[in-house]
Homo-oligomer: A and B are copies of this chain.
Amino acid sequence: MDLSLLFAGTGGAVPTAGRGLPATLVRRGADALLFDCGEGTQRQLVRSTGLPDLQRVFLTHFHADHWLGLPGMLKSFALRDRDAPLVLHGPPGLRDLIGRMGFVIGRLPYRMTIEELEPGQAVVLDGYEVVPFVVDHRVRAYGYAIVEPDRPGRFDADRARELGVAPGPDFGRLQRGEAVGDVTPGQVMGEARRGRKVVLSGDTAPCEMVRVAAHDADVLVHEATFLDEEAERAAETRHSTARQAAELAAEAQVGTLVLTHVSPRHPGGAIRDEARAAFPRTEVPRDLDVLEVPFPEKGRPELRRWEPPPSGSRPAAAPAAGP
């Protein structure tokens, strides 16, 4: 089952030429979930994967740089005659926010449901769940953990045959955890294999809840608005420095740390270098980069750089557009 993260906007507060406002597209199999939707997100998606028929949008909090792209995207879905239902999730207050924007959103030809989530209230999806947890920001804000259950171990068919079990229904019984005669599942099934865990911090000061939620995660996407030299400003605004995020990643023993929400004042290189000093397996994606997250036994997550179209051309319909 493929699992990937597309970093549609890696900046914070104010967009720069290189970094759009916060949005992360998580794809798992045919599912497409969007976490935050800053202004310009729909165009970022159009530029890369094309605007996908998202099933769900999760907002971390209601600062405008995290959701101002949502009304326009909802309208664009409508203009495309979408009819698949869409679910919006977020902290309490989401219903009020969408209500206030109702005059913009207007009538939609698809069913849009608003589900405010309490901390810990898992959204159970097909083969995984998304769990919100409270983080430490200036307003009520959530991080989200995307968690797969452990998978059963591998079935050793050769060993089962050696033990006298005939291929067929008895193999199935063993795989479902039932004994067959004297043969127990433990004799022929390997150890349970870990599911994957991807955690997104949203906007937050370094905090215990992220540390706990991210324990042993394959990927922690953490904000890194500031550098260490601005630690005081980070504390005032309840954001994190690159070093704080990296130290937290080390303590939580995550596999890969991904830093986003980079301030317009900082080139990603300084953020990355500061973080890698404390946690070497740190990535600072640029907009539209994709992180593939394989099952743990298949290898480490890898960042695939987005390739802009060749110089002289424009993305999409461009060659036809100019004289």
B-binding residues in A (CB < 8 A): 13-21, 39-40, 42-43, 46-47, 64-65, 68-69, 71-72, 75-76, 79-80, 100, 103-104, 267-270, 272, 283-284, 286, 305, 308, 310-312, 314-318, 320-323
Take A269-B322, A317-B267 as given contacts and tell me if A43 and B15 are in contact as well, using a CB distance cutoff of 8 Å: yes
Contact A71 B75, beta carbon cutoff 8 Å: no
CB of A139, distance to nearest CB on chain B (Å): 12
Q: A39-B72, A64-B72 are in contact. Are A15 and B317 (CB under 8 A)?
A: no
Complex Cα gap A46–B16 (Å)? 6
Interface pairs (7), CB distance under 8 Å: A18-B321, A39-B42, A39-B69, A40-B40, A64-B104, A65-B75, A267-B320
Copies of this protein in the assembly total: 2
- Asked if A320 contacts B270 (CB within 8 A), the reply is yes
Asked whether A321 lies within 8 Å of B79 as measured between CB atoms, the reply is no
Q: Are A71 and B68 in contact (CB under 8 A)?
A: yes
- In whole angstroms, how far apart are the Cα atoms of A286 and B30 in the complex? 34
Option from B13, B21, B75, B79 in Cβ contact (under 8 Å) with A79: B13
| Residue of chain B at shortest CB distance from A321 | B268
